[in-house]
């Protein structure tokens, strides 16, 4: 006798996906993470488009990680044309990526994931009994969006960050305003850690995870040019294809990534396991206190790692603004550069994990070939692995219990299904 358990539509995630598990005599026969989101063919769309407009198009792959896409896109273009951004630009970009992570993690931790652990269908229903927490979370999210708006031009699909720099450098007054708000939300980030640390995580999904995250250098962060793996490797971003062999599967429009023939994980948990010890200040202290709760083999601990990152993000944003203000903001134009036939690759940590953009240009700066690999496409095979373990361990339970456990696991990854449907390689 076999039974099929399917979560037809995952909720509180971005995009449309489901998951189906077939059990036969208490053994898992098959697992499919299905992605219903339609194909959008971005790599095909941008073929022939002039490099200058590429980030405006590719950032529209995803709303919640729009700046990650635009910065990865700009980074790949700058690597191709050997553009050296100024120290001020690099700091502003660091601030922007931290702002995006604040907005995204605040939304996910408080409004999408926490209701699972406290037993509500959504944050709005949660507000009836935890109004203060929900209001504080909205405030935190808003501060992330303020950074976005000040630097990028609006909350979703901004425009101000460009190849070579920023079209308009924000004013000191704008940054000071953001700074004041940041200082107010520090307690909210600490509350996030407290809430998530108090949740006792089920262990029915525990299994080995191969982890990957960016090497952010001496400080914890989301930018760098090498990728670290939990096997102790350090791979240059330009060699990313050796890490992410993509495979077409019949049940989804997202290609699935594999490394060494097996699944791997990207996101907050891998970042924390591979680089968490680099965090400093209050974030570093909280990391030390909670290190024991972060289990590389329990994907559900991803949410606690996101909460720890929130503490880091706010702290880092404050530091970045401090540094910008003490340097004195200069109204620099984007730097100048030559365009030639070239290829460029860039890796960045989007809130959900490693993101790669790779473009080849003709002599006029038009795209001839492109490849974009998103975090959720990389996590898809690992999500199937976890679902298989959960269903196997809960095989004697009823369908509803298995379904719920799988849904909570998938949501812990904070999947961005719109993103995952990226459809690769223009030949």
Asked if 416 contacts 62 with a C-beta cutoff of 8 angstroms, the reply is yes
Asked if 15 contacts 421 with a C-beta cutoff of 8 angstroms, the reply is yes
Q: Candidates 88-96, 131-139, 194-202, 226-234: pick the segment binding other proteins (CB under 8 A).
A: 131-139
Q: Nearer to other proteins by C-beta: 138 or 235?
A: 138
Q: Which of 3, 6, 20, 57 binds other proteins (CB under 8 A)?
A: 57
Q: Which of 73, 89, 160, 299 binds other proteins (CB under 8 A)?
A: 160
Q: Which of 26, 27, 154, 239 binds other proteins (CB under 8 A)?
A: 154
Asked if 367 contacts 341 with a C-beta cutoff of 8 angstroms, the reply is no
Q: Which of 26, 27, 48, 325 binds other proteins (CB under 8 A)?
A: 48
Asked if 120 contacts 128 with a C-beta cutoff of 8 angstroms, the reply is no
Q: Nearer to other proteins by C-beta: 321 or 419?
A: 419
Q: Footprint of other proteins on residues 66-95 (CB under 8 A)?
A: 66
Asked if residue 254 binds other proteins (CB under 8 A), the reply is: no
How far CA 7 is from CA of 19, 151, 222, 341, 408, in Å, comes to 5, 39, 33, 47, 11
Q: Which of 2, 11, 198, 277 binds other proteins (CB under 8 A)?
A: 11
Q: Candidates 60-68, 181-189, 232-240, 294-302: pick the segment binding other proteins (CB under 8 A).
A: 60-68
Shortest Cβ distance from residue 12 to other proteins (Å)? 6
Contact track, other proteins, 190-229, x by CB under 8 A: ----------------------------------------
Angle (nearest 5°) at CA 93 between 419 and 87: 150
Asked if residue 248 binds other proteins (CB under 8 A), the reply is: yes
Asked if residue 22 binds other proteins (CB under 8 A), the reply is: no
For residue 259, give the DSSP letter: B
Asked if residue 425 binds other proteins (CB under 8 A), the reply is: yes
Tally of CB atoms within 10 A around 233: 13
- Rounded CA-CA distance 305/298 in Å is 12
Helix (H) or strand (E) holding 58: helix 54-58
Q: Candidates 45-53, 282-290, 306-314, 354-362: pick the segment binding other proteins (CB under 8 A).
A: 45-53
Beta bridge partners of 3: 23
Asked if residue 247 binds other proteins (CB under 8 A), the reply is: no
Shortest Cβ distance from residue 243 to other proteins (Å)? 20
| Distant-in-sequence, close-in-space partners of 193: CB < 8 Å, separation ≥ 6 | 286, 290, 304, 307, 308, 310, 311
Chain centroid to CA 151: how far? 19
């Amino acid at each position: 006798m076999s039974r099929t358990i399917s979560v037809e539509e995952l909720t509180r995630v971005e995009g449309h996906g489901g998951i189906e598990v077939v059990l036969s005599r208490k053994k898992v026969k098959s697992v499919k993470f299905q992605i219903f989101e339609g194909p959008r063919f971005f790599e095909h769309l941008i073929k022939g488009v002039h490099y200058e407009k590429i980030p405006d198009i590719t950032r529209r792959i995803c709303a919640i990680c729009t700046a990650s896409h635009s910065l990865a896109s700009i980074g790949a273009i700058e690597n191709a044309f050997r553009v050296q951004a100024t120290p001020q630009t690099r700091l502003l970009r660091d601030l922007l990526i931290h702002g995006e992570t604040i907005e995204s993690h605040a939304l996910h931790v408080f409004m999408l994931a926490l209701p699972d652990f406290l037993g509500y269908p959504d944050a709005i229903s949660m507000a009836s009994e935890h109004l203060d927490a929900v209001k504080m979370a909205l405030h935190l999210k808003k501060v992330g969006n303020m950074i976005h708006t000040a630097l990028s031009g609006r909350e979703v699909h901004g425009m101000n960050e460009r190849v070579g720099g920023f079209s308009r450098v924000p004013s000191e007054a704008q940054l000071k305003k953001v700074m004041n708000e940041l200082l107010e939300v520090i307690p909210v980030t600490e509350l996030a850690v407290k809430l998530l640390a108090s949740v006792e995580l089920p262990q029915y999904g525990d299994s080995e995870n191969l982890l990957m995250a960016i090497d952010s250098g001496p400080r914890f962060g989301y930018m760098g040019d090498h990728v670290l793996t939990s096997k102790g490797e350090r791979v240059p971003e330009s060699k990313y294809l050796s890490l992410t062999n993509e495979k077409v599967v019949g049940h989804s429009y997202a290609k699935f990534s594999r490394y060494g023939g097996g699944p791997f994980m990207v996101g907050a948990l891998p970042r924390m396991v591979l680089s968490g010890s680099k965090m400093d200040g209050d974030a570093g202290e909280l990391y030390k206190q909670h290190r024991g709760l972060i289990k590389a083999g329990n994907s559900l601990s991803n949410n606690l790692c996101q909460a720890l990152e929130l503490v880091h993000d706010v702290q880092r944003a404050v530091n970045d603004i401090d540094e910008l203000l003490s340097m004195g903001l200069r109204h620099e134009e984007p730097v100048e550069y030559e365009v030639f036939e070239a290829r460029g690759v860039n890796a960045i940590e989007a809130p959900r994990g490693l993101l790669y953009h790779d473009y080849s240009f003709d002599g006029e700066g038009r795209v001839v070939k492109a490849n974009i690999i998103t975090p959720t496409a990389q996590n898809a095979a690992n999500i199937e692995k976890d679902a298989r373990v959960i269903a196997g361990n809960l095989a004697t339970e009823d369908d509803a219990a298995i379904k719920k456990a799988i849904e909570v696991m998938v949501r812990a990854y904070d999947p961005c299904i719109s993103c995952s449907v990226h459809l690769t390689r223009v030949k």
